[in-house]
Each structure stands twice: as structure tokens, then as C-alpha cells.
Amino acid sequence: MSSELRVEQLRKVFPTTNKAAVDDVSFTIAAGEIVVLLGPSGCGKTTTLRCVAGLEHPTSGKIVIGGTVYTDPQAGVLVPPRNRNLGMVFQSYAVWPHMTVRQNVAYPLKSRKVSGAALDKGVKEALELVELADYADRPVTQLSGGQMQRVALARSMVYQPQILLLDEPLSNLDAQLRLRLRDDLRRIIKRVGLTALYVTHDQTEAVVLGDRIGVMRDGKLLQLDTPSEIYNQPADLFVAGFTGATNVLDGRVVARDGGGGTVAVASGEHLIARMGDGVAVGAAVRVASRPDNVGLAPAVEGPNQFLGRVTTRHYQGTQTVYQVTVLGATIEALEVGSAARHAEGSAVTVALPPGVCWAYPV
């Protein structure tokens, strides 16, 4: 049965660096929920997952699964990985090359002394779930990369673990396979009702797979929320930038109004942006926005409409990326469609909707 996972004030310091790879990280995953830890290399996401698995020994903090404490260094509690009843899918396929598909998936059940009809039934259901029932007797060495990763997934789920841990399981696949298996993974995990902790550096993977996304940097969990909130209410400039808000304008707050305010930028013009309660009038800020939220059009009514000029145009078939000078800076605008509407050197009206501009203190 799936269980709740609770991580409390987790901290991991490696003696070789004397620096916290995981720094006071806390979160809870409800039974049956998928949470994705997202961040760049070295941010602490894999170390966090390995601490949950028992493969790393944290310096301090607690890991509680289904109400049972599995890790608590202060209390001398450290349950070994083999006794945690967790499933794990690695970045490498980690299948046994000398075995068939069936033998790979059956192995965890055999090691738990399951045999006979119960074993056959469990293996059959797991292979049907990952759509490999017809490949049961094939050597795994004759499978594609995507199929081998499905074998690894079936093997990790066949014994009904409390928690499923996935450490960048799609990164070794080519782009086409990655897209196909990414979409299937969420369906499979949800169908079984497993609690899952998934680690990736790929934003699209995180959005497709996760019920909630936790963004990490330098060992800290900066924000844990739904994909919609992460993209539309980023907690800070790093979260905004990492999830695609690459346009940044420097300015100073000249007025506040509820959850937003007015920012004077380098050109002297004013734009309206969302900002937190802690950002006061007079504060230096950076205003972030996404290229796909920037509108290029004839003048229309509404706030945040500015005159700009297209400096470069990069046609990409199904979309066009423009570099536009506006507000004393250069920003990107992304236009979806197979026809590029604006020529280099043309004057355009640049729309920056206030609801998708976020101001953060410098």
C-alpha cells in the first residue's frame, strides 16, 4: 500500500566538502501523490532522494514513511535500504543482462520468498501495466532503451512498495523515447496509486509528471507547489529564471498597490508588476517575465504597453523568437505559429501583462 512520506529538517554535509548538500529541507508527500524535485546539477535533489532510500546517511533530520521513523540520526535510527520497502528506478536501466524480462521482474518477489501462482500473477500484472506482456520471455539485451526502462519500472513496482523513487529515469533515452515514456510514466504511477518522489533537471518533465514541484538550489528547497503556481507565482528570481522567465529588467519601486506596484525602469518609463509584501516603495528590484508572455502587436488598450523595435528574428518553424529593444533594455518575445509576423527593424508595441511580470528585491 502507498504511504505518506514526511521529510523533516533534512540536512546532509559531506566530510570532503564540509558544505551542506541538503540544507534544512522539509516536505510531505501525501499517499498516492507524485512530487518532483527540480533543479540544476548539484542542487541537492538526488542526495535528498538517496537519503529517503537509505543510500545516504543524513547528518540530521527525520524521514518518516507511513508514520514509521526510518531515519533519525539524533535518535540513532537508520533503517537499512533493504528494510524500507521502497521501489527505485535509476538513471541507468540497471537490469540484469543475463535474465529475461520475466526473470528481471520476478527477482524482487523471489527474494521476498514469493513463489507459485502469486509470483506469476504479480509478474503478469506488472508487465501488463508497462505494456511488455508480449516480451516476457525475451532477453532484456534484445530490448530498446525505453523498453528496458519499462522493465526497471515493472521490477520496482511488482512488490507493491510504500514509496517509488525515480532518479532521472529518462535522461539516458533519446528525445522521442523520452517524450513517449514521460507521458506513460504518470499514467502508470497514478493507475497503481503509488506515492512517488521523482528527481529531474528537466522543467517539462516536472510539469507533466508532478502533482507538485519542489525547486531546489544549493541544497535548499525554495518553493514546493503545483506546476501552475510554480510557473505563475514563482517565489523568487531563481525559481522564475529556472522555469523560463528569462527576461529581467532592473528598476525601482515608485508605488505599491495591494499585491502589485509600479516600477520605474532604466528608460524612465513605468511598468506594473506583481510583488511580495516585503517589497517597499524605493526598493531596487528586478522584474522577470517569460518570452511566451510578451505580446507583439499593434497598439491596444491596457497597462504595460510600450513602443519597441525588433532587432533580430530567429524563425524556428513552429515558432519565432524575437530580440526586442524596449524600456532601455533588450528582451525576448516568443511568437507561436509557422508564419513570422514581424521583420527585423520593425517598430512594434510590446505588451507586458502585469499579471505575468514579477518584481523581486535585489
**Secondary structure (H, E, C), 83-100:** HCCEEEECCCCCCCCCCE
Residue 16 has what pLDDT? 86
Q: Residue 319: beta bridge partners? A: 336
**If you search the block for the grid coordinates 532604466, which residue do you land on?**
266
> Sign of torsion, CA 15 21 27 28?
negative
CB 35 within 8 A of CB 210: yes
Q: Encode the chain (362 residues) as per-residue pLDDT tens digits.
A: 689 999 999 999 998 888 999 999 999 999 999 999 999 999 999 999 999 999 999 999 999 999 999 999 999 999 999 999 999 998 887 889 999 999 999 999 998 998 899 999 999 999 999 999 999 999 999 998 889 989 999 999 999 999 999 999 888 777 777 888 888 899 999 999 999 999 999 999 999 999 999 999 999 999 999 999 999 999 999 999 999 999 999 999 999 998 999 999 999 999 999 999 989 999 999 999 999 999 998 656 678 999 999 999 999 999 999 999 999 999 999 999 999 999 999 999 999 999 999 999 99
Identify the CA nearest to 122 among candidates 152, 87, 160, 94.
160
**270-275 and 260-265 strand pairing:** antiparallel
Residue 347 has what pLDDT? 92
Element (H, E) at 255: strand 247-257
CB 319 within 8 A of CB 335: yes
Identify the CA nearest to 11 among candidates 53, 55, 63.
63
Identify the CA nearest to 332 among candidates 308, 298, 361.
308
Q: Measured between alpha carbons, how far is 194 from 339 in angstroms, rounded to an integer?
A: 44
What's the pTM?
A: 0.90
Residues 6+ apart with CB under 8 A from 345: 309, 310, 311
Residue 145 has what pLDDT? 85
Q: Residue 25: beta bridge partners? A: 10
Identify the CA nearest to 60 among candidates 86, 23, 18.
23
**If you search the block for the grid coordinates 523520452, which residue do you land on?**
178
34-38 sheet: strands from edge to edge = 86-89, 163-167, 195-200, 34-38, 212-217, 220-225
Residue 268 has what pLDDT? 94
Residue 90 has what pLDDT? 87
Residue 189 has what pLDDT? 92
Residue 299 has what pLDDT? 59
CB 153 within 8 A of CB 188: yes
**If you search the block for the grid coordinates 500500500, which residue do you land on?**
1
| Cα–Cα separations (whole angstroms), residue 324 to 243, 250, 305, 315, 342 | 21, 16, 14, 14, 11
CB 352 within 8 A of CB 289: yes
Element (H, E) at 215: strand 212-217
Element (H, E) at 249: strand 247-257
* Segments making up each domain of the chain, as ranges: 5-237, 245-354
CATH class of 245-354: mainly beta
CA atoms within 13 A on the CB side of 258: 3
Residue 301 has what pLDDT? 64
Q: Measured between alpha carbons, how far is 272 from 358 in angstroms, rounded to an integer?
A: 9
Residue 300 has what pLDDT? 61
Reply yes or no on domain 5-237 having CATH 3.40.50.280. no
